[in-house]
Structure 1
Amino acid sequence: MPRSERSPLLLAGLLATAGVAHLAIPQQFDAIVPRLLPGSARTWTRASGVAEFALAAGLALPRTRKAAAHATAAFFVGVFPAHIQMAVDWRDRPAPQKAAALARMPLQVPLVLWARSVARNARTGV
């Protein structure tokens, strides 16, 4: 399988894994939902997990890959406030935990770029 075909499937796998985590162990994600959002944190956590599954499915299918990849890039930007919330909440934790929380923020950049690359390389109407 050519590298360009593996990349969207790897990204889909990452999203599906994250979706499982959001639904199987939601409490860790509930804790980082920005408190400014309306409704319960659990609702946002579940919605995020469902969105990750939908994006993964869209990336896995060549016909929907380009649109799903654009949506995935937007999703990664959209969840960035959760990483900020985590960094703020963990500012008084031990150094390794604080470093992990801070490291999550710049890691969003390569994820957004990866999704954009998948969109750019997707063939439409396949």
Structure 2
Amino acid sequence: MTTELAKLAPSSVPRTIGRIGLGAVLMLAGISHLTFARDSFQAQVPEWLPLDKDFVVLASGIVEIGLGASLVGLPRQKVAVGFIVAAFFVAIFPGNISQLVTRTDAFGLSTDAARGIRLIFQPVLVLWALWSTGAFAAWRARKR
């Protein structure tokens, strides 16, 4: 099924640039999880999550690096990777909501307005992943 979807995925220079750009953003974010922004990411881990905050930050950083590298280095699997990246962005959204609800300052987001505006960008990341990989278009074309 993944091969079928890959054949249906549109491809263009803007989509390719978008896919590689998103991959680079994810790799940088993953590296920051492991290094200079580790404390800020720990502040975003919801209190209700029954896992060690440092483990969550390190694991999500490694996942982000892997997803970013996959976006850049696996163009033939771009549709599957696009769906996985979109699902990842959905999965981490509760952490962003928690940051707003608990009024946790991190990454310079020190007001409710700033934290609220950040929430708007999570769906943008989901759409970016689905558009740049052609995943959504391939899925829709499969339905026809």
Specify if TM > 0.5: yes
Higher relative contact order (CA 8 A, sep 6+): 2
Contact 1:65–1:119 (8 Å) recurs in 2: yes
Q: How does 1:101-112 map to 2 (within 5 A)?
A: 101-112=115-126
Matched, 1:56 2:68: yes
2:83 corresponds to which of 53, 70, 76: 70
> Displacement, 1:44?
0.6
Distance between the aligned counterparts of 1:64 and 1:120, measured in 2? 11
1:9 corresponds to which of 8, 20, 23: 20
> Displacement, 1:89?
2.0
Distance between the aligned counterparts of 2:62 and 2:104, measured in 1? 29
Contact 2:43–2:104 (8 Å) recurs in 1: no
> Displacement, 1:53?
0.6
Partner of 1:46: 58
CA-to-partner distance for each residue in 1:57-97, whole Å, 9 max, x for gaps? Answer: 111121232211111100100010111111012279xx963
Distance between the aligned counterparts of 1:44 and 1:66, measured in 2? 27
Distance between the aligned counterparts of 2:18 and 2:119, measured in 1? 22
> Displacement, 1:4?
2.1
Distance between the aligned counterparts of 2:104 and 2:66, measured in 1? 33
Matched to 1:110, the amino acid is V
Distance between the aligned counterparts of 2:123 and 2:131, measured in 1? 12
Where in structure 2 are there 5+ consecutive unaligned residues? 1-11, 139-144
Distance between the aligned counterparts of 2:89 and 2:47, measured in 1? 19
> Displacement, 1:10?
0.5
Percent identity of paired positions between Structure 1 and Structure 2:
36
Contact 1:91–1:98 (8 Å) recurs in 2: no
Aligned CA-pair RMSD = 2.3
Where in structure 1 are there 5+ consecutive unaligned residues? none
Please say which structure displays the higher CA radius of gyration. Answer: 2
Partner of 1:23: 34
